Structure 1
Amino acid sequence: MLTRIAFAATAAFLLTSAAIVAPAVAQDPIKARQAGFEDLKKAMGEIKDALGKDKATAAAPVATRVAAFASTIPSLFPAGSDKGKTGAKEVIWANFPDFTAKAKDLETAATALAAASATGDKAATGKAFAALADTCKACHQRYRAD
């Protein structure tokens, strides 16, 4: 029963996320992606806090939120959105297939974290969280201006 409720909540979140992201990107993709990455930063903190409190299962819905956001990342970087106040390097648009692959890696790692944390296994959740953090670093090193 709990699994069905979690699935329904996740589905509702994903549908709502898509409905919110699309209009925001059309208006200002830079602001939309900055807001999304701020939420990602917050989510990473929430996951870290859950692990610190031995509440691995609390990370599952947060990781699902990260996966949902990750699936939208390429759409947040349309051509021409490299101008303005942004920390995005121009190389994103020059190497968009690799950038898209890194976003997919983030989605995959977040999905794996959600699965690991749903089991309540703190060690597996910690390992999956470290893998998720590594995907963030891999993208930042190449595509984010400091």
Structure 2
Amino acid sequence: MFSRIVLAVSAALILTGGAALAQDVIQTRKAGFDDFKKAMGEIKDAVGKGDLAAIGPVTDRIDAFAGKIPTLFPPGSDKGKTAAKELIWANFPDFTAKAQDLQTSTKALKVAAASGDKAATGKAFGTMADSCKACHQRYRSE
């Protein structure tokens, strides 16, 4: 009888701990995406003002976050207050590829901005925004 109680309590603690861990990762990824949204606004403003030198550090922030995106969606983090669709976990290789596309387009934006070519930078920014949209359309509930 005692072993059943210990087993039941242990299972409850594991499940509760898993739920808490899922909520922590959800909060972490929400904070990351909030900063990402802010960074996109900073880039848009910089492009509009022609302040291309300001874009490099912002793209570094986005690139670092994009590299972490797949780790912010571990199994079980689809429960709770999240806009993540279950399709992420069903098609994780494609989801990961989309995060890599974001990194690639972010690096291209940094190169374009460093060149000083405003038109190329604007185009690269559009490409990066399209990579965001591709992931959101497939994997995020609005």
Q: TM-score, normalised by structure 2?
A: 0.83
State, as a whole percentage, how many aligned pairs show the same letter: 68
Shift of 1:27: 7.4
Aligned residues of 1:55 and 1:120 also touching (Cα < 8 A) = no
Asked if residue 144 in structure 1 is aligned to residue 140 in structure 2, the reply is yes
In 1: Cα distance, 2:120 partner to 2:22 partner: 39
SS of residue in 2 equivalent to 1:114: helix
Q: Look up the match of 2:68.
A: 72
User: Radius of gyration: which is bigger?
Assistant: 2
1:32-111 alignment, distance < 5 Å: 32-111=28-107
How far apart, CA to CA, are the structure 1 residues paired with 2:136 and 2:23? 25
Aligned with 2:131: secondary structure? helix
Correspondence for 2:3: none
Q: Is the 8 A contact 2:69 2:99 kept in 1?
A: yes
Q: Give the equivalent residue in structure 1 for 2:115.
A: 119
Of 37-46 and 111-120, more deviation after overlay is shown by 111-120
Q: Deviations over 1:42-94 (max 9, x none)?
A: 00000000011111121111111111110000000001000000010010000
Paired residues in the alignment total 122
Residues of 2 paired with 1:113 and 1:67: CA distance?
Answer: 11
- Structure 1 residue ranges, 4+ long, deviating more than 2 angstroms after superposition: none
Q: How many angstroms does 1:116 deviate by?
A: 0.9
* Long gaps (5+) in structure 1: 1-24
| Aligned-residue offset at 1:129 | 0.1
Gaps of 5+ in 2: 1-20
Over the aligned positions, Cα root-mean-square deviation in angstroms equals: 1.3
TM-score by length of 1: 0.81
Deviations 1:90-126 (A, max 9, x none): 1000000000000000011001111111122111110
Contact 2:22-2:76 within 8 A present in 1 as well? no
